[in-house]
Structure 1
Amino acid sequence: MKAVIFDMDGVIIDSEPIYNKIHADMLREFGITEFLDCPEDYTGMTSMSVFTKTRELYQLKQTIAEIAAYQRDIIIREIKKLDDEPITGIRELLASLKKHKIKTAIASSSERLFINTVVDKFGLHDYFDVIVSGDDIENSKPAPDIFLKAAHLLCVEPANCLVIEDSKSGTIAAKAAAMKCVGFANPNSGKQDLSQADKIISSIHEINILEYIKTLNFK
């Protein structure tokens, strides 16, 4: 193992409840009272993919740009005023990776502005070598593009990368990229099928990097 690639939403920050509330509030603001979608359907998708799907599903008259602007301002404001820390165990894991000189990246379908807001909020910039956002790729998860781009920027072969994901689409993307994957069963991410992952955990504290190097058969 030469690199660990982190998803952000649901892995570094427990943001899914925030996104879900803002999504519902936005639909009500736009006059939608009967919801046809399920929040976990969007987990792992890029922001623009979510906005496009939402607009089509509800036949909204607002443009995608208007939907994006509405959500962007509120999400950033909500993240900045959070009192929460990163998900339990993340700071310790990042410190351990730094100690063992293992490269790190964030590969998140969120917009770069959201990612930078989270990293700034928690003071984590020094822990990540590379950040790849949904803005940087053409195909969102479950396509492997975002993880392959992160590996390329890290100058690490995919077979030597470990991905930490909380979504079905993310675990599929990681395996499609020929990477090892740990599925984090975050209850706030909805009922995600993590069966594609090499290991499934219920706490970030369960991740043992030295053990994984020995047991997950990295090249």
Structure 2
Amino acid sequence: MSGARRAVVFDMDGLMLDTERVALECWLDTARDAGWEITRDDCLAMVGLDQRASERALMQRVGQDFPLREISDRAKEVYLRRLRSEGIGLKPGLTALLDWLAAHSVPVAVATSTRHLLAVEKLELAGLSRRFEVVVCGDQVPEGKPAPHVYLEAVAQLGLQPAACVALEDSDIGLRAAHAAGLACIVVPDLRPPAAGYAPLAHAVVPTLREAHPLVGELLGLPAGAEAMPAR
């Protein structure tokens, strides 16, 4: 089909992996144990950003007296221990979508703000490491999301132009990055919907990857068919 896209670039945490909820709980619990009451909204300000940007966003909200390094290091320890012991859940509809894309030989990539070593471990824990030949991370580009670099690098490694790719995101930070890079972006919100000022940048905002599946098919110029909405 003329003008159809040819590849799909996935965000990771919150979009494919049910990890943002765990991270939120770890931050809140760790801060509370240290005598600091931070809010859910304080933590949500970090969603989608790379490590440095997320820490700056938090400090701006809670003040310069907050013991960032201590709380951050402890929260990460608890977070990783939980992921390694409990495993990582996949978002509804992901497996069916990845299977369908593979069956149609559609190239896929990951563009995430997460550091490379941690991203690789998460994909391994989630059983997805063999699904993606291209994985681009926040510490591999000059600037993380909402800058477009992570998407531009992923698209370059696929050997395509941005206009030939579809992005799937869960946050307005990621939406802004994908849009700035020139990709059509479908948003599947996780912990919060995209801010009203950024939602119009999305091709669509849908509740789960099941609903995103037929939209991806339309953008790729491929019929999604009845298998687009399985109960998986």
Indicate whether the TM-score tops 0.5.
Answer: yes
Please report how far the alpha carbon of residue 34 of structure 1 lies from its aligned counterpart in structure 2 after TM superposition.
Answer: 5.2
| Structure 2 residue ranges without an equivalent (≥5) | 223-232
Q: Does 1:127 align with 2:131?
A: yes
Please report how far the alpha carbon of residue 95 of structure 1 lies from its aligned counterpart in structure 2 after TM superposition.
Answer: 1.2
| Structure 1 residue ranges without an equivalent (≥5) | none
99-108 vs 51-60, which moves further: 51-60
Checking the alignment, whether the CA contact within 8 Å between 2:169 and 2:187 is kept in structure 1 is: yes
The AA in structure 1 aligned to 2:154 is A
Please report how far the alpha carbon of residue 160 of structure 1 lies from its aligned counterpart in structure 2 after TM superposition.
Answer: 0.6
Give the fraction of aligned pairs with identical amino acids, expressed as a percent: 26
Would you say how many aligned residue pairs link Structure 1 and Structure 2?
Answer: 212
Checking the alignment, whether the CA contact within 8 Å between 2:88 and 2:126 is kept in structure 1 is: no
Q: Choose which of 81, 106, 110 in structure 2 pairs with 1:106.
A: 110
What are the residue-to-residue correspondences of 1:20-169 with 2, within 5 Å?
A: 20-33=24-37, 35=39, 37-55=41-59, 57-60=62-65, 62=67, 64=69, 66-82=70-86, 85-169=89-173
The AA in structure 1 aligned to 2:157 is L
Please report how far the alpha carbon of residue 191 of structure 1 lies from its aligned counterpart in structure 2 after TM superposition.
Answer: 3.5
Q: Does 1:191 align with 2:193?
A: yes
Specify whether residues 36 and 16 from structure 1 end up closer, same or farther in structure 2 by C-alpha distance, changes over 3 A only.
closer
- Partner-residue secondary structure (3-state), 1:126: coil
Specify whether residues 94 and 34 from structure 1 end up closer, same or farther in structure 2 by C-alpha distance, changes over 3 A only.
closer
TM-score by length of 1: 0.86
- Counterpart of 2:218 in structure 1 is 211
The AA in structure 1 aligned to 2:55 is F
CA RMSD of aligned residues (A): 2.3
- Partner-residue secondary structure (3-state), 2:77: helix
Checking the alignment, whether the CA contact within 8 Å between 2:87 and 2:125 is kept in structure 1 is: no
TM-score by length of 2: 0.81
Spell out, residue by residue over 1:12-40, the C-alpha distance to the aligned partner (whole angstroms, 9 max, x if none).
11222111111112322443135495333
Inter-partner Cα distance in structure 1 for 2:92 and 2:41: 29
Inter-partner Cα distance in structure 1 for 2:95 and 2:31: 35
Specify whether residues 202 and 58 from structure 1 end up closer, same or farther in structure 2 by C-alpha distance, changes over 3 A only.
same
The AA in structure 2 aligned to 1:122 is A
